Amino acid sequence: MTVYNFDEIIDRTGHHSAKWGAVADNCLPMWVADMDFRSPPSAIAAMVARAQHGVFGYTLDPPKLKEVVVERMSRLYNWEIRPEDILFTPGMVLALCATCSGFGEPGDSVLIQTPVYGSFFKAVRANRKFTANINMAYVADDAQTFHYENDYDEFEMVARDPQTSIYLQCNPQNPAGFLYSQTELERIAEICLRHNILIVADEIHSDLILEGAHIPIATLSDEIAQNTLTMIAPSKTYNLAGMACSVLIAQNREIRETTAAALQSISAHVNIMGYEAAYGAYSGGEEWLRQLLVYLKDNRDYAIAFIRKHLPQIKTTIPQSTYLLWMDMRELPIEGDIVDFFKDRAGVAPSPGEFFGDAGAGFVRLNFGCPRTILEKGLHRLKAAVDQLVTTV
Ligand SMILES: Cc1ncc(COP(=O)(O)O)c(C=O)c1O
């Protein structure tokens, strides 16, 4: 069995990496959600083989990719979909934008539970709709960890508004890393069905499960499947974000046709290499993924243990999924911008909490999808900066 080396430091500078290019020399980028690991060999081999063919004209959707997605959904979730239920898009944010433009009417509201991935807000507002934000309830577990809970009363109240036409769900949840439970999903889906609200389920992180089990909302019942557009991708799982290939699943014909028309209206096409990378990853990347998840879970546990021991003023969630750690910094006496404090005083660049909505003010998100030595360095730097801050106040 091949053992993959996630400890390897791969120099990404000079390769136009969005993550590394945005920070000063010597600052560790721990923000945007991509990992500093090489993708699985099967994905790389598929792209190399395709490159060697040497002819790169317009391309059709590859049936083999649809087949591998059908097989995957059946194997992972007992979810029986058909190849014709699948659409491909160059990225998930584009799919979110197309959905927000294709469904409902201009001026409608889109229900969003916050804090949540910031491009949800952008996708809604850029497509002439409003966000109806519901803050999830912050619940402390102990002095240093917390989780979020749904506010069903508010959910019901917003859903009842006839202007609300779409619910955008992020499951597994970014930034908090939790998995919606079956009970939560059932309750939410029932409200959406009752009020005729389309469920758009962004499940991009669903392969990155550190503990527990992901439940695609569309698998709860046929009725829910008929009211849901699900979005998955190999991009987070196999570190292929730059290849821009996402997968949409719509078992309802009308939802599928409306989505396809919205995608056609902006001529959205996946690149040949995106298809190849996705196929290579999904068809041959399972063992790589298994080992990745072990590595990420160790990184998560290391980070949480370090914070518990050395940074008692910081509270975090315990992500069941993703490689993202959501950190509540509000107890620290940081004056000014928190990300500036991280960058200037610690030499670490996390994502600003405000990107995830107003409910993110006072928080940051730290990406631990990196070799352990980088994570260790980042956390030690943060400790030194916080120690100095606390002793000088
Ligand atoms: C929940 C969620 N959706 C979508 C995206 C972005 O997807 P894409 O790069 O395919 O546009 C991200 C990236 O972090 C994400 O976390």
- Is 174 touching ligand 1 by the criterion CB < 6 Å? yes
> What structural domains does the chain harbor?
18-41+286-392 (3.90.1150.10), 55-284 (3.40.640.10)
CA of 4 from ligand 1 middle (Å) equals 25
Kindly give the distance from the C-alpha atom of residue 92 to the centroid of ligand 1, in angstroms, as a whole number. 6
pLDDT by residue, tens only, the chain of 393 residues:
899 999 999 999 999 999 999 999 999 999 999 999 999 999 999 999 999 999 999 999 999 999 999 999 999 999 999 999 999 999 999 999 999 999 999 999 999 999 999 999 999 999 999 999 999 999 999 999 999 999 999 999 999 999 999 999 999 999 999 999 999 999 999 999 999 999 999 999 999 999 999 999 999 999 999 999 999 999 999 999 999 999 999 999 999 999 999 999 999 999 999 999 999 999 999 999 999 999 999 999 999 999 999 999 999 999 999 999 999 999 999 999 999 999 999 999 999 999 999 999 999 999 999 999 999 999 999 999 999 998 876
Distance of CA 214 to the CA centre of its chain: 13
Which tokens is 116 given? 């949540």
Q: Which atom of ligand 1 is nearest to the CA of 91?
A: 10
Provide, for the chain, the percentages of residues in helix, strand and coil under a 3-state DSSP scheme, each rounded to the nearest 5. Answer: 45, 15, 40
Sign of CA dihedral 297, 302, 308, 311: negative
